[in-house]
């Protein structure tokens, strides 16, 4: 008998952990599943100390699959299994066709664990930075129900949709970001380099410069002297903000504040709702019960305020109240989410309606970003033009004052 360290989500939605003796990984996983648990991880309980575990985490934490590689791996594995290939041969195919060394190492480690007797879900769970609890939970459900190829195909579709949405959002934000950077560089160049070129001319003429020109001259001196220090301060502030956001209490307050913002808050609500419904629908569609599905889905929303709301919903659902009512009472998710999930509960089609809600929220988030970008680009252009025009105007005014003095 060998000791295995495991973690799972029980029927009540709580994460449970333990160490149990079993002949192999398959036995412990099957035992936990018979008890109604969704297994997250089952691995050998080695004798490593805490320091060794921390060192191992640091080394392994440097490698992870990005979203594109994860989507490709899922799609290729689903195709190979649907074609009748056994799991080992399918994994060998995806390992050999991995795009880079990092992906090849991670997927090779997964294949080695499967060849050593682990289930695919357990092997994937050993790489938590690459494969989320949602991903592992779906694979676990697919293996338990004998529908692994179909499950991987649905999972690949979900990942591809999310990747497409993220790619569209990033593409839409590229132009405004470049425009802001160009505006800042242009204004800094005018203040720090162009204006000082005229200062000796004004000093030799001994003319009293107009107030706007004097203010710009002072701003130019300040930009040249304090510019490097400002970058250092910004870097330190960014580091401190990142450390502060790692604290749950501070992060919770920030996430709540973000959801209350007039425009950005609406976009975040759509994004959070899309993540929740996509994860929940995928889990329910593959046979995971509602309470364990909520326990897994809460980690996928990406906002602590929404996570807290889902936790309260899970507690209410344990009492048989349902999903849509407690979810609407939190005030975090859009009314459209609550309405669609209520329809799904009434028609006994909650998984399908949750996935449809995810598609609707994805589209709404995409449209909102397009509108924001369409509004932001002319605003940035106008502000940039006014700033440059103000600097040039101040110079022209000063030069005209010199001409008046000479006349």
Domain ranges of the chain: 1-62, 63-131, 132-407
Give 61's pLDDT tier (boundaries 50, 70, 90).
very low
User: What is the structure's pLDDT at 62?
Assistant: 46
Could you tell me which of 161, 88, 142 has the C-alpha nearest to residue 118? Answer: 88
H, E, C per residue of 68-91 = HHHHHHHHHHHHHHHCCCCHHHHH
Tokens representing 153 are 């195909």
**In this structure, what DSSP letter does residue 247 have?**
S
Q: Which residue has the higher pLDDT, 211 or 310?
A: 310
Rg (CA), the chain: 28
User: What is the structure's pLDDT at 50?
Assistant: 41
What is the percent of the chain with per-residue pLDDT over 70, rounded to a whole number?
A: 88
pLDDT above 50 for 52:
no
Lay out the sheet containing 2-9: strands in order across: 15-22, 2-9, 38-44
Chosen CATH of 63-131 out of 3.40.50.300, 2.40.30.10, 3.40.50.720, 1.20.81.30:
1.20.81.30
Integer CA distances (angstroms), 292 to 61, 134, 283, 314, in order: 27, 11, 9, 9
What is the mean predicted confidence (pLDDT) over 16-20? 81
Give 13's pLDDT tier (boundaries 50, 70, 90).
low
DSSP 84-118: T--HHHHHHHHHHT-SSHHHHHHHHHHHHHHHTT-
Give 23's pLDDT tier (boundaries 50, 70, 90).
confident
Q: How many Cβ atoms from other residues are within 10 Å of residue 2's Cβ?
A: 13
119: left (phi over 0), alpha (psi -120 to 50) or beta: beta
What is the mean predicted confidence (pLDDT) over 70-99? 86
Q: Which residue has the higher pLDDT, 378 or 137?
A: 378
The strand pairing partners of 38, in sequence order, are 9
User: What is the structure's pLDDT at 41?
Assistant: 66
Q: Which residue has the higher pLDDT, 139 or 141?
A: 139
User: What is the structure's pLDDT at 356?
Assistant: 92
DSSP H or E segment with residue 20: strand 15-22
Tokens representing 276 are 């929740």
Lowest mean pLDDT among 41-50, 119-128, 164-173, 190-199: 41-50
User: What is the structure's pLDDT at 47?
Assistant: 45
Could you tell me which of 101, 103, 100, 102 has the C-alpha nearest to residue 74? Answer: 103
Q: Which residue has the higher pLDDT, 271 or 46?
A: 271
pLDDT above 90 for 342:
yes
d(CA 350, CA 161): 20
7 phi, psi to nearest 5 deg: -140, 145
pLDDT above 90 for 136:
no
What is the percent of the chain with per-residue pLDDT over 90, rounded to a whole number?
A: 12
With contact defined as beta carbons under 8 Å apart, do 357 and 52 qualify?
Answer: no
d(CA 153, CA 81): 10
Mean pLDDT of the chain: 81
pLDDT above 80 for 44:
no
d(CA 352, CA 109): 35
């Amino acid at each position: 008998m060998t000791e295995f360290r495991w973690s799972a989500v029980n029927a009540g939605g709580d994460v449970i952990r333990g160490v149990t003796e079993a002949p192999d990984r398959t036995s412990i996983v099957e035992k936990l599943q018979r008890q109604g648990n969704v297994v997250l991880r089952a691995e050998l309980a080695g004798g490593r100390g805490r320091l060794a575990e921390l060192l191992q985490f640091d080394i392994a934490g440097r490698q992870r699959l990005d979203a594109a590689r994860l989507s490709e791996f899922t799609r290729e594995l689903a195709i190979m299994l649907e074609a009748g290939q056994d799991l080992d041969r399918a994994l060998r195919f995806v390992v050999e066709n991995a795009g880079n060394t990092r992906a090849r190492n991670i997927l090779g480690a997964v294949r080695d664990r499967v060849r050593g007797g682990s289930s695919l879900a357990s092997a994937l769970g050993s790489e938590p930075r690459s494969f989320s609890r949602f991903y592992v939970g779906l694979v676990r459900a697919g293996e338990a129900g004998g529908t692994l190829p179909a499950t991987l195909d649905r999972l690949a579709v979900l990942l591809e949709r999310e990747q497409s949405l993220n790619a569209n959002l990033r593409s839409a934000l590229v132009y405004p970001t470049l425009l802001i950077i160009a505006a800042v560089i242009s204004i800094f160049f005018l203040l720090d380099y162009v204006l000082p070129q005229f200062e000796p001319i004004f000093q030799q003429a001994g003319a009293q410069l107009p107030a706007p020109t004097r203010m710009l001259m002072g701003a130019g001196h300040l930009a040249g002297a304090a510019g490097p220090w400002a970058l250092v301060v910004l870097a330190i502030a960014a580091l401190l903000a990142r450390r502060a956001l790692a604290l749950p209490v501070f992060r919770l307050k920030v996430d709540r504040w973000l959801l209350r913002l007039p425009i950005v808050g609406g976009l975040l609500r759509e994004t959070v709702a899309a993540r929740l419904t996509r994860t929940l629908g995928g889990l329910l569609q593959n046979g995971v019960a509602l309470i364990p599905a909520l326990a897994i889905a809460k980690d996928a929303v990406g906002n602590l305020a929404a996570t807290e709301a889902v936790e309260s919903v899970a507690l209410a659902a344990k009492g048989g109240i349902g999903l849509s009512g407690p979810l609407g009472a939190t005030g975090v998710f859009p009314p459209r989410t609550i309405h669609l999930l209520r329809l799904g509960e009434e028609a006994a089609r909650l998984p399908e309606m949750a996935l449809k809600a995810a598609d609707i929220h994805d589209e709404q988030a995409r449209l909102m970003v397009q509108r924001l970008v369409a509004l932001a680009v002319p605003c940035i252009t106008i502000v940039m033009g006014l700033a440059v025009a103000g600097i040039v105007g101040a110079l022209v005014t000063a030069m005209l004052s010199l001409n008046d003095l000479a006349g």
